[in-house]
Structure 1
Amino acid sequence: MRAQLEVIKKGVHIVVATPGRLKDMLAKKMLNLNNCRYAVLDEADRLVDLGFEDDIKEVFDHFKAQRQTLLFSATMPAKIQNFARSALVKPVTVNVGRAGAANLDVIQEVEYVKQEAKTAYLLQCLQKTPPPVLIFCESKADVDDIHEYLLLKGVEAVAIHGGKDQEERDYSISSFKAGKKEVLVATDVASKGLDFPDIQHVINYDMPAEIENYVHRIGRTGRCGNTGIATTFINKNQSGTTLLDLKHLLQEAKQRIPPVLAELNGPMEDVDAITNTGGVKGCAFCGGLGHRILDCPKFEHQKSVQIASSRREDFGFGGYRGEF
């Protein structure tokens, strides 16, 4: 913090910050926003998802004059819309394409691969395009296993996930960006907020549980007018809701639908039925096209979290939440 403070004391035009550090410096009066007129939130959906909503509102309270606020997000679930309505005055939504839709510059290939055959098939997929290639996994353990496997096979690979320290992460990202390493294996920590302009191929070793994360992941390729390929492995381990969302996303982007997805039928199969009574496509909560809000796993999860939170407060544990 001392090094950051020395820079700020000299005077700055723009501050790029995480909510926690900015809130801390404002509270300690190391920084003020008296002359600040713009607040920009990048990956706003992710910030709200991670529970930074109250921190951001606290930061907004430090503005002394009228401000213009801009929220950037690839997806527009209900949570971020509610935040925009509560934090902004008469918010205006600017859509570039449909929020939550896949980039049309990405060729999406979905393949059914048995769980035990995925690692071996991964090497074949790496032959589709020249490097750089980005591989996504759901768990840290899978990232480490695949990273080790690729190194044993002679592939120049690096890995990042939440369990690695900052120095390791910085090395992985910088060497991958510089072209010294051909493959980056990562969890969803690399699906948002990192810009790799020349990614040729994204491989989803695991199909994410939420369709929003799929959209973010494949958006790492096909950037700046370039085309890219996204290959996704699916099998019986995925939920029917997620696969139906994927099927409708492929239909919307006019991509080839594999037979295993084409056979799936759900309550949203009638094209006219994709629109809800409120005029919203698919799920009004998460933006998935293959289900409605009543079947939304993300909505169910949030309800259970809210119920658990209210129970804690009812039983007098609310004040100790930070200590558990």
Structure 2
Amino acid sequence: ADQVSKEIRRLASFVPNVKLLTLCGGIPLRPQLASLVHPPHVVVGTPGRIQELIDQGALSLDDIRVFVLDEVDRMLDMGFQEAITSLLKQSPTSRQTLLFSATIPDEIRKLSRSLQRDPVEVATADGADLPEIEQQFHEVDGTRRFDALLRVLTTYRPESTLIFCNTRRDTQDLADGLAQRGFSALALHGDLEQRDRDEVLMRFSNRSCAILVATDVAARGLDIDDLPAVVNWELSTDPDVHVHRIGRTGRAGRKGQAWSLVAAAEMPRVAPIEARTGLSVRWSKLPSMGGSGEPILAVMSTLCIDGGRQEKVRAGDILGALTGDAGIVSTAVGKIGIFATRSYVAIRRDQAATALKRLRDGKIKGRKFRVRAVD
């Protein structure tokens, strides 16, 4: 939802006075209630929180013109069909309803027939993005999977890697294990609070975290610019999920790498993946430990500023404060993310301590803000 909101804000930047709200669970209700005093033009949110705000009389769907269901196949997998149907029944029948999905199983066609009038289906060709992704499958001993992962990472040393696990427990355990070995690694899964998720995603997207270990649900729809590599810690039981996983890399015409660690028990999952992609998998021998096994570190560090859109803080204000009085060269400043009440800025690691001190001693837009290092 946050990614969609950011993209809509970018697209609407030349349209005056567009009010957009992101309404999701996991964060306090009170600020959202306050924001709804003046009705928004666009709402991006999750079904549960939107229904909660409707029940409190804070949000009305009476004037909805367009209703979009994104990642609808996963919404159904997560049990949201009843909530979705309820929300649509509360909106005008004259609305336009758009469904977006990575796959179109029978359940979605049935949902379409019940929610849409004379719908038009638009589909991309299967496997259209696969040629830009170099896949390698490695047969591993299930008891030595972690050692196999270290070999792959330390040999190829991608600057940024997304690792997929099948369970939340594996996700956290693997991220902790990599961090204990000195790697810059974080976990992303459903047990995290919304603020923690935001920080994890921001750190990964701005290169202040080198490795993100995630479950499929947590990583659904992730749009990370120029992601060099994806690793399947374990093969998915669903070939469509496998295609979705590796599709996080090799995007927008770029080339990507995808490595899959496959134990004996997972071998029956390989043939359905070949059938789904129309490609024979490429089996490769595991490399020996590369680079003396040195861990992969992040090239950037993240600073958090306790001021965001509500304080009218813009990316240009932060960049100006850093390159002006703080004296940081612009090439040392990375991605800047602005949220409602806070902002994040990536700084080259060797300049982070200097930037932190000078931002704390100085001002942004003529005001003092609390600034802290996230990592």
TM range (shorter): 0.7 to 0.9
Match for residue 170 of structure 2? 142
Match for residue 95 of structure 1? 123
The 8 Å contact of residues 133 and 184 in structure 1, kept in 2 or not, is answered as yes
The 8 Å contact of residues 70 and 99 in structure 2, kept in 1 or not, is answered as yes
What secondary structure is seen at the aligned counterpart in 2 of 1:233? strand
2:131 corresponds, among 65, 82, 104, to 104
Match for residue 158 of structure 1? 186
2:140 corresponds, among 107, 110, 113, to 113
Residue correspondence of structure 1 range 309-320 to structure 2 within 5 A: none
Cα offset for 1:202? 0.3
Structure 2 distance, partners of 1:155, 1:227, is: 24
2:230 corresponds, among 195, 198, 202, to 202
Match for residue 277 of structure 1? none
Structure 1 distance, partners of 2:113, 2:128, is: 22
Cα offset for 1:259? 9.2
What secondary structure is seen at the aligned counterpart in 2 of 1:16? strand
1:12 corresponds, among 23, 40, 45, to 40
The 8 Å contact of residues 129 and 201 in structure 1, kept in 2 or not, is answered as no
Structure 2 distance, partners of 1:150, 1:54, is: 40
What secondary structure is seen at the aligned counterpart in 2 of 1:131? coil
Once the two structures are aligned, what percentage of the paired residues are identical? 34
Cα offset for 1:65? 4.8
The Cα offsets for residues 120-142 of structure 1, whole Å up to 9 and x where unpaired, read as 11122223252210011112232
1:124 aligns with 2:118: no
Match for residue 249 of structure 2? 221
Cα offset for 1:220? 1.3
Match for residue 279 of structure 1? none
Match for residue 244 of structure 1? 271
What secondary structure is seen at the aligned counterpart in 2 of 1:199? coil
1:80 aligns with 2:105: no
Distance 1:120 1:229, change over 3 A: same
The Cα offsets for residues 145-204 of structure 1, whole Å up to 9 and x where unpaired, read as 322222232211111222333343232212111211111111223331322122110000
5+ residue gaps, structure 2, are 1-28, 286-375
The Cα offsets for residues 88-129 of structure 1, whole Å up to 9 and x where unpaired, read as 11221100113x876433222222111122211112222325
Query: Counterpart amino acid of 1:80?
Result: I
5+ residue gaps, structure 1, are 261-324
Structure 2 distance, partners of 1:248, 1:57, is: 34
1:192 corresponds, among 220, 225, 240, to 220
What secondary structure is seen at the aligned counterpart in 2 of 1:238? helix
Structure 1 distance, partners of 2:87, 2:121, is: 22
Match for residue 179 of structure 1? 207
Cα offset for 1:60? 0.9
Structure 2 distance, partners of 1:81, 1:258, is: 37
1:24 aligns with 2:49: no
1:168 aligns with 2:193: no
Q: Give the TM-score taking structure 1 as reference length.
A: 0.73
Structure 1 distance, partners of 2:284, 2:30, is: 58
The 8 Å contact of residues 26 and 62 in structure 1, kept in 2 or not, is answered as no
The Cα offsets for residues 57-92 of structure 1, whole Å up to 9 and x where unpaired, read as 111112235111111111112221211122111221
Query: Counterpart amino acid of 2:165?
Result: C
Match for residue 44 of structure 1? 72
The 8 Å contact of residues 274 and 281 in structure 2, kept in 1 or not, is answered as no
- Larger fraction in strand: 2
The 8 Å contact of residues 161 and 231 in structure 2, kept in 1 or not, is answered as yes
Query: Counterpart amino acid of 2:179?
Result: L
1:258 aligns with 2:266: no
